[in-house]
Amino acid sequence: MPSLNYGGQAVIEGVMMRGERDWAVAVRAPNGEIVVHRQPLNQVVYRSRVFKWPFIRGLTMLWDSLGLGLRALMWSADVAMGEESEASFTGPLAWGTVALSLGFGVALFFLLPMFLASLVDRYVASALLSNLLEGSIRLGLFLAYVWAIGFMPDIRRVFAYHGAEHKTISAYEHGAPLEPQAVLGYSRAHTRCGTGFLLGVVVIFVLVSTLMGRPPLWLRLASRIVLIPVVAGIAYEFLKLTSKYYDKSAFVRMLVAPNLALQRLTTRDPEPEMLEVSIRALQEVLISEGRLAQPADDQSTATDPLAGGKPAPA
């Protein structure tokens, strides 16, 4: 069985794949070529024993989604517009975008539901019902947001690359050849999907917040922010555990069903050309880790900091 440490993320006209030591982005450029960028992972984050502890390693998942994912997304946008650049990987622009995105997510999915629930709080006698109302609003906002952005043409293509990423990882985990026709037959849903992680954060947040009663508004506001890394740690362990036992337990498959159902909104069936890009990203990571030989006829453009390029800080 191949390593299960591989994961990825869809970007603009491409896919980012993360391995055990390196990560790579493959993007279809306007001229039709596949452009690849590879960098080593931040060893402090990904190789540290502390960040591998249960409930702490969920923070690495958050870093993947926010820091690493957004930097890859910005670079893919440059390539898709024919403006390949190293600037998107580091500097104030990258960190400013991460901070802005994080602030937007916290405000929309954590603080806004609390504020909306507080408007009718005086009419709700039970603290439990008040927290459940807030949680229901949070879950509704999350589902509505995912559903609404799926109508945007550019996002639909990103969702198709998301499906390509899932199919490629599933094919590799089952030992299938990394070729478009072989990968095409695999499911576009995956038990370790980041969408499921986010859904787990939202649902577990509801459960945890119901145990806190109904403190003053300012304390409730502070608690929602403080709880985010705690809930992220719990959600990651839940995702990891259910993925491990998915094929062995009908009960686990029932628990994972909402995760897989939600992925019908965040993935689309990819085109063969999209699978080529996703496969190329995974191959780049496998090559860097010595699990795959460099293809002799490889014509893609690879930027490899380990081969003399200047790596940006991870």
Question: What ranges do the domains of the chain cover?
Answer: 7-307
pLDDT for position 72: 86
Question: Pick the residue with more confidence: 68 or 165?
Answer: 165
> With bands split at pLDDT 50, 70 and 90, how would you rate the model's confidence at 64?
low
Contact present, 262 and 146 (Cβ < 8 Å)? yes
pLDDT for position 54: 84
H or E stretch covering 263: helix 250-266
Give Cβ neighbours of residue 299 (< 8 Å, ≥ 6 apart): 33
pLDDT at 208 over 80: yes
Report the amino acid identity of residue 276: E
| Least confident interval from 19-28, 149-158, 217-226, 272-281 | 217-226
Question: Residue 35, SS3?
Answer: strand
Q: Cα–Cα distances in Å, from 286 out to 87, 95, 283, 307?
A: 26, 28, 5, 16
Residue 165 and residue 154: Cα distance in Å, rounded?
17
Q: Could you list the beta-strand ranges (E) of the chain.
A: 7-11, 14-18, 22-28, 34-40, 301-303
pLDDT for position 310: 32
pTM: 0.84
> With bands split at pLDDT 50, 70 and 90, how would you rate the model's confidence at 27?
very high
pLDDT at 3 over 70: no
User: What integer is the mean pLDDT of 237-246?
Assistant: 92
Give Cβ neighbours of residue 200 (< 8 Å, ≥ 6 apart): 234, 235, 236, 238, 239, 259
Give Cβ neighbours of residue 43 (< 8 Å, ≥ 6 apart): none
Structure tokens at 184: 């095409």
pLDDT at 169 over 90: yes
Q: How do 301-303 and 34-40 pair as beta strands?
A: parallel
pLDDT at 250 over 90: yes
